[in-house]
Structure 1
Amino acid sequence: MVWRSWMTGASIETTLELWASGLRDAKTRMRAVFKQARVAASAGLFLDGLLGDARRKTGWMRAELAGDPGPWRQQALLGRAHWDADALRDVVRDYALEVLSDDDAVLVIDETGFLKQGKGSCGVHRQYTGSAGKITNCQIGVFAAYVSRHGHALIDRALYLPEVWTNDTERMKRASVPEGAEFATKPQLAVEMIKRAIAAQVPFRWVAADSVYGVGTVEKVLRREGIGYVLGVRSDYRFIAQIEHPSLDAVIQEDAADADPTGWIRLSAGDGTKGPRLHDWSYHQLGDVDPEDYDAEWEGQWTRGLLLRRNINDGDIAYFSTWCPKGTTLHTLVAVEGRRWAIEDSFETTKNELGLDHNETRSWHGWYRHVSLVMLAFAMVTTIRHKANTGAEKKLPKLPKALAKSR
């Protein structure tokens, strides 16, 4: 079972008890999603298979663990049975928040690739994925991770459909894509997940993401809502003033070149597998903004800024657009950016241990169902791990308090 390598703060007996009770709890929580008892039973066996020792979480492997003669019940759960994957997503979110909830939490947005053969799997196309580090045949999923000092879990997901898919009505129909589905960029998918989190009253003060999500729509939504952000941007990105404040017009590359080299501060963005993740950092305030400038309801002045991260070894510089209450410290912004590693850890864990990329279905609903069940398994393990390791495991440090509430 995957708990062997994750549970370090409790005895084997205690951990086994937590595991057994946690599995029962997870199955009870998801029971309401399924109208038929037999489908709920199949989902429970599917969850057992994801949490089992088999390195490949294929239908045949899960069927073997369940004692079934073949993978047909497993396949029916993802393909033919009638149940709502979005309802399960909401169960996962609420389940994870019971132990992870924190007002200073960071919602981290990122994507990951699912390597595929052929052209039948929903959304598959030759496109770039960081999972392979190249352009290859794959699906792309955009995810939201909830990251707090208590741990992290995946709480939302969206399958990216390239335009070659949304422009092909017959292909969309074969993959059971819902009628009316239109092309949406990855930032647009991210915005929908952010809005869902806000509507569900998920407590978070910050959003962090890489340069795919660092411009345009995501920024506008967060500024209007009074939510802080640290978003990666390319070196040629130009800040466009939304108000008459000339200092907001700045080219990042020029700003970096003009930065005083003595102004760099060496800080850790958090502990990694090899200890503190040290970089040199520099922060430049580009302008203060009042709520009326955005027709917003948040209070006090906020600051648009530019955060620079320099690699200690090769001097390579990464750039981040920031939005935060006036007076927010460099240490806070660095800590927020450092929380992005948690979604990479989530991808690695769910792929290596829980079969996130072992989905054998080709349909739209098959992808969402498989991924949502894996998210439930991860939330369950996160919850059990938190309970087993409370007081024994070094957790993420609490973020320094911002000088004003973000919303």
Structure 2
Amino acid sequence: MGELLEELRWCFRRIEPFVQARKYVRAVMSEIPKRNGWTVAEHVGDRTPDKTQRLLNRARWDEAAAMAEIRRFAVSGLEEAARKSGRRRGKLVIGALDETGQQKKGEATAGVKRQHMGCAGRVENGINTVHLSYVREGTGHALIGFRQWIPEGHLTDPVRALRMGLPADLTFRTKGQLAIDICTTATTDGIRPDFYCGDEVYGNCTELREHFEADEQAYVLRVQKNFRITLPSGTVLSCEQATKTLLKHKRRWEIRSAGKGSKGDRWYAWAWIATASQRHYLLIRKHLRTGELAFHYCFVPEGQLLTKTRLIRAAGLRWPVEEGFEFGKDSFGLDQSQARLYTAIARHTVLVCAALAVCAVTAALLRDRTNSQASEPAHPDQPPPADPGMIPLTIPEIKHLTADTTRRPSENTAHWVNWRRKHQARSRWHHKRTRLARDTKITQVS
């Protein structure tokens, strides 16, 4: 942790915000159940949340430069882990794009809107942020870039934009365009994965696909069933039509693993269809039990290896971004920030990504040393081993071990109990005074 935090020092104008940021990162890596201004301040030993709130809202520091340092730390750390373990040669590097949400109440938070929230599985009030995960096959993964999505209506309303702290030069960008911005920044830092992967939100963005192709960057992007492709014969069909027409026979499908999950290999039936372009293919994945289809539009530049096996491996490596969200939220409070301003939300996300990167690199470096699992079973009737061993240390377990060294001072507990009670009494008094004025107006009207 110390190595990364020292690399972030130059991003801060003054030492005080840097010290507070260091405390903040240690707090999000602790075992406190919620991570907001009050709980973080109590954990690090502050007397009030003023320093934490100032760090996120008003302190002078460059969160974009800090994210660049975190990105370089994560990428170099995972590369070093792959080199030491001998997993560097022949393994794919994936840039996985996806968005995640955070439910919010009210209308004061930057970017808040009623929209479909994947974390809730329905339409809810909340904010959405596009993330880029750096995935090194067989080694590990970390979140290395993000952009918050802001509805166009917030940007065109100057009063609302001012209240939400939106930068004056901020323009409306779709999620696909935000992905372009994130990937462009990563490319500037010298990061060029073997493939970029994403779901239908990104696969259906023509501008994003054209950006990758102009940059000679390979991709495997999910698309919807009505996405249209041009066959070598010149016929234009939707993905669903092409599959029904060209993949009738079982011999066109082959069962391959999409990679190992926590319960073993994830087996699917796969097929691919050539298009009029020699560098574009449609990769189809079929669920073995339900028959559900998933379509991937693929591009591989001239001079790069193009095989179905390679595309299947790339498609199967998109899931770690979901795991990154799970770890970020459950272990580091990625979605627990109570910040409302645009910059404050970004700064909280940067500091959470710093904590996640430290644990991700540590887990990758210790992967082989902490893996003592017994050999995998060879047949269904094989009896279990007497000692199953242990899986490698995971990111949450690294966080738990680190949290033991960052326990909050117990003598601060009584002070914070009294501080919260006094703050809530003050808030209650002001709420009652506001209600008296409102009730007076109601009485006058009636």
Considering the TM-score relative to the shorter chain, is it more than 0.5? yes
Structure 2 partner of 1:51: 29
The alpha-carbon distance between structure 1 residues 274 and 200, as it changes in their structure 2 partners (threshold 3 A), is same
- 1:79 aligns to 2:68 (yes or no): no
Amino acid at match of 1:79: N
Q: Which runs of 5+ in 2 are unaligned?
A: 80-87, 372-390, 393-446
- Partner residue in 2 for 1:251: 238
Contact 1:55 1:353 in 2 (8 A): no
Match of residue 220 from structure 2: 230
Partner secondary structure for residue 47 of structure 2:
coil
8 A contact 1:57–1:355 mirrored in 2:
yes
Q: Does 1:96 align with 2:74?
A: yes
Q: Find 1:268's aligned residue among 257, 273, 279.
A: 257
Which amino acid is 2:67 matched to?
R
- Cα deviation code 1:369-390 (max 9, x no counterpart): 0001111111111111122224
Q: TM-score, normalised by structure 1?
A: 0.84
Structure 1 pair 185/240, CA: closer, same or farther in 2 (3 Å)?
Answer: farther
Residue in structure 1 matched with residue 308 of structure 2 by the alignment? 330
Superposition pairs of residues 92-171 of structure 1, within 5 angstroms: 92-101=70-79, 104-149=92-137, 150-171=139-160
* Deviation of 1:248 (Å): 7.2
Larger RCO (alpha carbons 8 Å, 6+ apart):
1
CA apart distance, 1:250: 2.9
Whole-Å separation in 1 of the counterparts to 2:190 and 2:230: 31
TM-score, normalised relative to structure 2 = 0.77
Indicate yes or no: 2:349 matched with 1:371: yes
User: For structure 1, which segment, 384-393 or 152-161, has the greater mean C-alpha deviation from structure 2 after superposition?
Assistant: 384-393
Which letter does structure 1 place at the counterpart of 2:240? Q
In 1, Cα distance between the equivalents of 2:155 and 2:227? Answer: 29
State the alpha-carbon separation in 2 of the partners of residues 275 and 165 from structure 1. 46
Contact 1:306 1:320 in 2 (8 A): yes
In structure 2, the residue corresponding to 1:312 is in which secondary structure? coil
Instruction: Tell me whether 359-368 or 54-63 shows the greater mean CA deviation.
Output: 54-63
| Structure (1 or 2) with the larger CA radius of gyration | 2
Alpha-carbon shift at residue 104 of structure 1 (Å):
3.7
Contact 1:264–1:280 (8 Å) recurs in 2: yes
Distance, in Å, in 2 between the alignment partners of 1:368 and 1:74 is 14
Is structure 2 residue 292 aligned with structure 1 residue 304? no
SS at match of 1:250: strand
Secondary structure at 1:98 match in 2:
helix
Deviations, residues 161-189 of structure 1 (Å, cap 9, x unaligned): 11221221211111111112121100000
Whole-angstrom CA distance in 1 between matches of 2:107 and 2:356: 29
**For 1:83 and 1:240, how far apart are their aligned partners in 2?**
50
SS of structure 2 residue aligned to 1:357? coil
- C-alpha distance in structure 2 between counterparts of 1:88 and 1:167, whole Å: 29
- In the TM superposition, residue 391 of structure 1 has moved relative to its aligned partner by 5.1
SS at match of 2:349: helix
2:166 paired with 1:177: yes
SS of residue matched to 1:287: coil
Q: In structure 2, how many angstroms separate the alpha carbons of the residues matched to 1:335 and 1:127?
A: 32
Residues 248, 307 of structure 1: alpha-carbon distance in 2 compared, 3 angstrom cutoff = farther
Shift in alpha-carbon separation, 1:212–1:240, aligned structure 2, 3 A = farther
Determine the C-alpha separation between the residues in 2 that align with 1:173 and 1:248: 52
Aligned residue identity for 2:236 = D
Which of the residues 180, 185, 210 maps onto 1:220?
Answer: 210
Amino acid at match of 2:202: Y
Task: Quote the residue 2:5 is aligned against.
Answer: 27
Taking the aligned partners of 1:172 and 1:57, their CA distance within structure 2 comes to 26
Tell whether the 8 Å contact from 2:28 to 2:352 is kept in structure 1 after alignment. Answer: yes
Work out whether residues 248 and 286 of structure 1, in 8 Å CA contact, stay in contact via their aligned partners in 2: no
What is the identity percentage for the equivalent residue pairs of Structure 1 and Structure 2?
A: 28
CA RMSD of aligned residues (A): 1.8
SS in structure 1 opposite 2:11? coil
SS at match of 1:268: strand
Render the CA deviation track for 1:179-231: whole Å, top value 9, x for unaligned: 12121100000011111111221131210000000030111111111111110
**Distance (Å, rounded) in 2 between the aligned partners of 1:108 and 1:240:** 26
Which portions of structure 1, spanning 4 or more consecutive aligned residues, are displaced by more than 6 angstroms? none
User: 3-state DSSP class of the match of 1:353?
Assistant: helix
Structure 1: gaps (5+ residues): 1-22, 290-302, 396-407
Q: Per-residue displacement from partner, 1:226-277 (whole Å, max 9, x unpaired)?
A: 1111101010111369xxx654733211111121332111111111122211
Equivalents in 2 of 1:108, 1:341: separation in Å? 8
Deviation at 1:58, TM superposition (A): 1.9
1:202 aligns with 2:178: no
